[in-house]
Amino acid sequence: MTISNPQLSFGMLWRLKILTFASGAIVMALEISASRILTPVFGSTIYTWGSLIGIVLSGLSLGYFLGGRAADNHPSFEKICGIVFSVGLFIVGIPFFASAVVDFSLAVLPISQYTPLLATFLLLMLPSVLLGFVSPYAIKLGTHTLQKVGNTSGNLYSIATIGSIFGTFVTVFILIPNLTVNQIIFGLGIALIGSSLVGLRTSPQVIAVAIVIILVVPWSSLSVNTISHNGTLIFEKETLFSHLDVIEYGDNRSLYLDGLRHSSMDLDDPLDLVIDYTEFFHLGMLFNPTAIDILFVGGGGFSGPKNFLQMYPDTKIDVIEIDSDVIDVAKIYFNLESSPRLQIFNDDARKHLSMFDKKYDLIVLDAYATNYVPYHLMTHEFFQLLEKRLEPDGVIVSNLLGSIEGNYSQLVRSVYKTMKETFPVSYVFPTELSPAFVQNIMTVSSNQPYEFDRELLLEMSKNSPTDYLDDELSKQEHFYNKMVD
């Protein structure tokens, strides 16, 4: 049995396949690239990634449904190419209105777990829906007989999926490490416009493409900027893990990751500790004055390791930093010099510590992904691993973001409870006077008792922590999300 579709020529069938492949590739590349717009504001949390994945899937599903109906009513190759052309124009415009979308989302829903959902909806829902039109149109146009509908749909869905795989790998392994976010998004839009030309033969569309390329490409060196900084930008890069900025303001140079300050250096005194909470790293030496082998988990601008090398000339310091670009920036812009007493490991801390059995007298935990500690570095299983890498009189100093009491104390109390399961001696040191103020809070943990003022510890014990954190129960991102204001 035949359908009303005329049989496509060999050339037209290949144009259809090109359009299908390009649409599959672009939708995944756009989803991944959009994460670099949202994470500087909302963090690389489960809420951000859940919003991205959920909105794109929802849009595609709706597009499949609406596209199927539209394809039955108006099975035109030129029409679907026109839709794809329009999506390309929308994507090209994303860098220009992304900041406004984020600001609007924050105004409507002040930071909560639902704010990235709204921002993602406004940015990606429309292009996802319209790109969802491509597959049903392609199947309708590519099917000549009912006997071949299964084969045709299978081939086209396979091509779309291969395109999605291609878009994922190219974006992750080639585009993000080498280009800025807006260069990637501009490129995706122009690529989609180019692929739509296989079915658009009228001159106005061709002229429009030329105008877009002429106007947009010269601006491709600009960056999508959803976070503003005071000072002068002296270096910027999209790393594998975050958007990295080095900002100078007066005599101060700061490292920003995804819009948040992670380290600062006084240009006149590079070894001084500029950010107040980093002074509390020295608590470890108060508890264990004879510490020689010291580990810092998280490098950033290497303020702590540099200061310790100067203050404690007998120590040997290891640093584990997951982002190789952060290490390079610290060497170039933050006076990180090589030393026989300093060893740097470019690795994930938990993976590294599980593979090597070196023991330490002091471990300083200061690893942050945007505005929160990675969940796998705050669980009972990780603390058990740290205990194995700690000398009998060793000490762990950990930096947390939260409050001692009130609505934002849940994370600190939960981490404290979890630490107590492994380290019976644990103390909490707020860096601000107000117990309800969101601040950096330092914990000091050990297996050895220490004579110290226990008033704050007793105060903490009055309110039993709400949750015990292991690899199965990882609520840290939820707790942090409530604190960001």
Task: Name the band, by pLDDT with cuts 50, 70 and 90, for residue 207.
Answer: low
Mean pLDDT of the chain: 85
Higher pLDDT, 481 or 309: 309
Q: What is the mean pLDDT of residues 142-153?
A: 72
Write down which residue in 191, 219, 247 finishes a domain. 219
Q: Is residue 74 located within the same domain as residue 209?
A: yes
pLDDT on residue 215: 62
pLDDT on residue 465: 40
Task: Name the band, by pLDDT with cuts 50, 70 and 90, for residue 205.
Answer: low
Residue 233 falls inside a structural domain: no
pLDDT on residue 483: 44
Q: Is residue 188 located within the same domain as residue 111?
A: yes
Lowest model confidence (mean pLDDT) among 52-66, 331-345, 366-380: 366-380
Is the pLDDT at 353 greater than 70? The verdict is: yes
Q: Is residue 198 located within the same domain as residue 334?
A: no
Half-sphere exposure of 168 (CA within 13 A, CB side): 7
CATH number at residue 45: 1.20.1250
CA 313 to chain centre: 37
CB under 8 Å to 258, separation ≥6 — which residues? Answer: 39, 40, 43, 44, 227, 242, 243, 370
Phi, psi of 171 (to 5 degrees): -65, -45
pLDDT by residue (tens digit) across 413-439?
888 899 999 998 888 888 887 888 888
pLDDT on residue 169: 97
Q: Which residues of 119-141 are buried (b: 16+ CB within 10 A; e: fewer)?
A: bbbbbbbebbbbbbbbbbbbbbb
- The single-letter code of the amino acid at 346 is N
Q: What percent of the chain has pLDDT over 90?
A: 55
CATH number at residue 321: 3.40.50.150
Q: What is the mean pLDDT of residues 465-469?
A: 46
Q: Are strands 360-365 and 293-297 parallel, antiparallel or unpaired?
A: parallel
pLDDT by residue (tens digit) across 380-400?
999 999 999 999 999 999 999
Evaluate whether 161 touches 169 at the Cβ level (below 8 Å). Answer: no
pLDDT on residue 5: 57
pLDDT on residue 320: 98
Evaluate whether 81 touches 18 at the Cβ level (below 8 Å). Answer: no
pLDDT by residue (tens digit) across 108-129?
998 788 999 999 999 999 999 9
Is the pLDDT at 290 greater than 80? The verdict is: yes
Q: Is residue 191 located within the same domain as residue 273?
A: no
How many Cβ atoms sit within 10 Å of the Cβ of residue 64? 15
Q: Is residue 375 located within the same domain as residue 476?
A: yes
CB under 8 Å to 317, separation ≥6 — which residues? Answer: 294, 295, 296, 305, 308, 309, 341, 342, 343
Q: What is the mean pLDDT of residues 399-413?
A: 86
Q: Is residue 286 located within the same domain as residue 382?
A: yes
**Structural domain range at position 93:** 10-219
Report helix, strand or coil for 265: strand
Is the pLDDT at 251 greater than 70? The verdict is: yes
Write down which residue in 158, 193, 219 finishes a domain. 219
Is the pLDDT at 53 greater than 60? The verdict is: yes
Q: Is residue 362 located within the same domain as residue 454?
A: yes
User: What region, left, alpha or beta, does residue 119 occupy, with left being phi > 0 and alpha being psi -120 to 50 degrees?
Assistant: alpha
Is the pLDDT at 200 greater than 80? The verdict is: no
CA gap 61, 55 in Å, rounded: 10
Write down which residue in 219, 239, 258 finishes a domain. 219
Higher pLDDT, 16 or 296: 296
Task: Name the band, by pLDDT with cuts 50, 70 and 90, for residue 463.
Answer: very low
Lowest model confidence (mean pLDDT) among 30-34, 276-280, 301-305, 374-378: 374-378
Q: Is residue 314 located within the same domain as residue 436?
A: yes
Is the pLDDT at 219 greater than 60? The verdict is: no
Token readout for 58 is 């929802």
Q: Best-predicted range by mean pLDDT among 79-83, 373-377, 447-451?
A: 79-83
Residue 357 falls inside a structural domain: yes
pLDDT by residue (tens digit) across 163-179?
999 999 999 999 988 88
Half-sphere exposure of 9 (CA within 13 A, CB side): 4
Q: Is residue 206 located within the same domain as residue 292?
A: no
Task: Name the band, by pLDDT with cuts 50, 70 and 90, for residue 43.
Answer: confident
Residues paired with 318 in a beta bridge: 295, 343
Q: Is residue 273 located within the same domain as residue 133?
A: no
pTM as predicted = 0.77
Higher pLDDT, 145 or 32: 32
Q: Is residue 212 located within the same domain as residue 301?
A: no
pLDDT on residue 407: 79
Task: Name the band, by pLDDT with cuts 50, 70 and 90, for residue 403.
Answer: confident
Residue of 236, 274, 239 lying closest to 253 (CA atoms): 274
Residue 229 falls inside a structural domain: no
Residue 103 falls inside a structural domain: yes
Q: Is residue 191 located within the same domain as residue 320?
A: no
pLDDT on residue 231: 86
Is the pLDDT at 476 greater than 50? The verdict is: no
Q: What is the mean pLDDT of residues 293-318?
A: 96
Split into its structural domains, the chain has a count of 2
Higher pLDDT, 124 or 41: 124
